């Protein structure tokens, strides 16, 4: 079976690595997504274990279409009854870019009609109750290349369940996980985030270090599907639980100028049981003092969007440049959309990597 894992721009290589480690075949990174192949039984493992992908979709069909007729005929030709039971709910959504077929509502209607037509023939019915499990159909059309998919995740994979409340500008969990992966957070490391906000980077770092699978405590839409036995989901959750490393040396220090944010980090960390591995405080960056000989600092400082804010944000970059002393055993990893970042920070990064924080193009600067 063919699958697609959409992901944030810049993280395709990391998602491909996760998928290969999981034993997926023909892993092909593209722009903003990774295609791969595997058995249906892979669905629970991929949903529970992937840290950086946004969701897991089954690819039902891929073809070129420049007219509604072509779209209709090719969607109709897909063997839908092999995916969807008689009572399946199958809403359709999607997007189109640089393509002849650009009206989303029209594409939605055509795809829906074609699926109804195909299922109607196979099941011998013309009316669909759609009161069963949800099989969200998602389509993408890029330069006339259509991909029609079925969503196995439901809520995006970034929703791990620990961030019931968040502060003003939280970073997406999947992006924080990518930053921790790039900085090679290990179970014997000490992680620092002096702009911790609601604690996303610290918690993702702790989960990576302790091998805690991000999805084992949440549900997925395909758990309602009849083609995946409940026992398989249970088996994968048990496997995830058994693989957690207990008693690791990992520790994290987090701080923020906002005491409410520190409080949030504290309560969010409880969800995966990593609170004891965090030492938190309310502090201004200007008072940052490392507590250990070695450390991995990963941070998402304020960016500043209006002119005054940009000035204030840059002042923080200057402060960081003075405080983050280059020394053996330390790495400093900072994400920022500011193209002048290195100049203001006062040093050229050893590594730079393009990452998107939502739609915002950023660079992840690594000093080590
Ligand atoms: C972009 S947010 C970080 C969000 C965080 N990564 C999360 O996922 O919630 C920036 C944080 O920097 C904090 N901050 C602003 N100025 C600061 C300063 N001078 N010292 C320390 N923290 C500061 C803000 O309170 C805010 O929580």
Yes or no: say if 202 and 191 are a contact pair by the CB < 8 Å rule: yes
Residue 244 Cα to ligand 1 midpoint, Å, equals: 30
Distance 32 CA to ligand 1 centre (A): 27
Task: Sketch out the chain's domains with CATH numbers.
Answer: 2-151 (3.30.2130.30), 173-212+221-367 (3.40.50.150)
Residue 312, pLDDT > 80, answer yes
CB atoms within 10 A of CB 32: 16
Say whether pLDDT at 307 is over 70: no
pLDDT of residue 308: 60
Written as six digits, the tokens of 227 are 């083609």
188 C-beta neighbours (distance < 10 Å), count = 10
Residue 139 pLDDT > 80, yes or no? yes
* Residue 318 confidence (pLDDT) above 90: yes
User: Ligand 1 within 6 A of 260 CB?
Assistant: no
Query: 239: part of which helix (H) or strand (E)?
Result: helix 230-242
Q: Is 254 helix (H, G, I), strand (E, B) or coil?
A: strand
pLDDT over 80 at 168, yes or no:
no
Q: Is 257 in the pocket of ligand 1 (CB under 6 A)?
A: yes
SS3 at position 136:
coil
Q: How many residues does the chain have?
A: 368
pLDDT, residue 169, reads: 80
Structure tokens at 206: 């702790």
| pLDDT band with cut points at 50, 70 and 90 for residue 306 | low
Binned at pLDDT 50, 70 and 90, residue 301 comes out as very high
Ligand 1 atom nearest residue 261's Cα: 27
Cα angle vertex 169, ends 166, 172, to 5°?
75
264 in ligand 1 pocket by Cβ < 6 Å?
no
Q: How far apart are CA 225 and CA 227, in angstroms?
A: 6
Over pLDDT 90: what percentage of the chain?
95
pLDDT(167) > 90: no
Q: How confident is the model at residue 178 (pLDDT cuts 50, 70, 90)?
A: very high
Q: Tens digits of per-residue pLDDT, 120-129?
A: 999 999 899 9
pTM of the model: 0.96
Assess whether the C-beta atom of 173 lies below 6 angstroms from ligand 1: no
Residue 105 CB-density burial (10 A; 0-12 exposed, 13-18 middle, 19+ buried) = exposed
Model confidence over 153-162: pLDDT tens digits?
A: 999 999 999 9
For residue 61, give the nearest of 152, 153, 138 by alpha carbon.
Answer: 138
pLDDT in tens, 191-235: 999 999 999 999 999 999 999 999 999 999 999 999 999 999 999
Residue 301: name the closest of 279, 286, 281 by CA. Answer: 286
Contact status, residue 89 vs residue 34, Cβ threshold 8 Å: no
Locate all alpha helices (DSSP H) within the chain, ordered by sequence.
12-21, 42-49, 68-76, 104-123, 173-182, 200-209, 230-242, 259-270, 307-323, 341-345
Spacing, Cα 253 to ligand 1 middle (Å): 14
pLDDT band for position 359 (cuts 50, 70, 90): confident
Which of 179, 203, 301, 362 for mutating ligand 1's site (highest number of atoms within 8 Å of CB)? 301
Largest CA distance in the chain: 72
pLDDT at 358 (0 to 100): 87
pLDDT of residue 197: 95
- Characterize the bridge pairing of strands 330-336 and 351-357: unpaired
Minimum-distance ligand 1 atom for the alpha carbon of 301? 10
Ligand 1, pocket-test mutation among 261, 288, 317, 324, most atoms within 8 A of CB: 261
What is the chain's mean pLDDT, rounded? 96
For residue 49, the model assigns a pLDDT of: 98
Mean pLDDT of the 23-30 span:
97
Ligand 1 centre from 210 Cα, in Å?
A: 25
Residue 120 to residue 325: CA distance in whole angstroms: 67
| 255 phi/psi in degrees, rounded to 5 | -150, 160
What are 71-120's pLDDT values in tens digits?
A: 999 999 999 999 999 999 999 999 999 999 999 999 999 999 999 999 99
Q: Which atom of ligand 1 is nearest to the CA of 196?
A: 5
**Cα of 259 to ligand 1 centre, how many Å?**
11
3-state secondary structure of 222: helix
284 CB within 6 A, ligand 1: yes
Residue 15 — pLDDT band, cuts 50, 70, 90? very high
Answer whether 200 contacts ligand 1 (Cβ < 6 A): yes
Distance CA 192, CA 38 (A): 38
């Amino acid at each position: 079976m063919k699958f697609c894992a959409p992901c944030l721009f810049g993280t395709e290589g990391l998602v491909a690595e996760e998928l290969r480690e999981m034993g997926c075949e023909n892993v092909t990174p593209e722009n903003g997504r990774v295609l791969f192949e595997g058995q249906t039984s892979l669905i629970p493992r991929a949903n529970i274990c992937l840290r950086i992908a946004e969701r897991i979709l089954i690819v039902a069909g891929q073809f070129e279409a420049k007219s509604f007729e072509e779209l209709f005929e090719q969607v109709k030709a897909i063997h839908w009854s092999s995916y969807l039971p008689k009572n399946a709910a199958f809403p359709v959504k999607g997007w189109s870019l640089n393509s002849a077929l650009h009206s989303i509502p029209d594409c939605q209607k055509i795809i829906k009609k074609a699926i109804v037509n195909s299922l109607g023939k196979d099941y011998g019915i013309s009316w669909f109750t759609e009161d069963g499990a949800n099989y969200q159909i998602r389509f993408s059309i890029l330069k006339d290349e259509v991909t029609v998919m079925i969503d196995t995740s439901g809520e995006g994979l970034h929703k791990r369940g620990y961030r019931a409340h968040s502060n003003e500008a939280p970073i997406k969990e999947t992006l924080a996980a990518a930053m921790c992966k790039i900085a090679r957070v290990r179970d014997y490391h000490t992680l620092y985030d002096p702009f911790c906000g609601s604690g996303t980077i610290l918690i993702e770092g702790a989960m990576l270090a302790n091998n805690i699978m991000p999805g084992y405590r949440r549900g997925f839409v395909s758990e309602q599907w009849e083609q995946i036995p409940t026992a398989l989901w249970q088996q994968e959750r048990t496997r995830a639980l058994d693989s957690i490393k207990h008693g690791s040396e990992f520790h994290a220090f987090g701080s923020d100028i906002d005491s409410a944010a520190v409080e949030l980090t504290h309560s969010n960390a409880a969800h995966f049981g990593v609170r004891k591995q965090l030492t938190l405080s309310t502090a201004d960056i200007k008072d940052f003092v490392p507590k250990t000989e070695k450390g991995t600092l990963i941070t998402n400082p304020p960016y500043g969007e209006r002119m005054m804010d940009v000035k204030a944000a840059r002042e923080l970059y200057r402060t960081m440049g003075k405080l983050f002393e280059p020394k053996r055993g330390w790495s400093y990893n900072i994400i920022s959309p500011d193209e002048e970042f290195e100049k203001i920070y006062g040093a050229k990064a050893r590594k730079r990597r393009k990452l998107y924080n939502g739609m915002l193009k950023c660079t992840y600067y690594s000093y080590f």
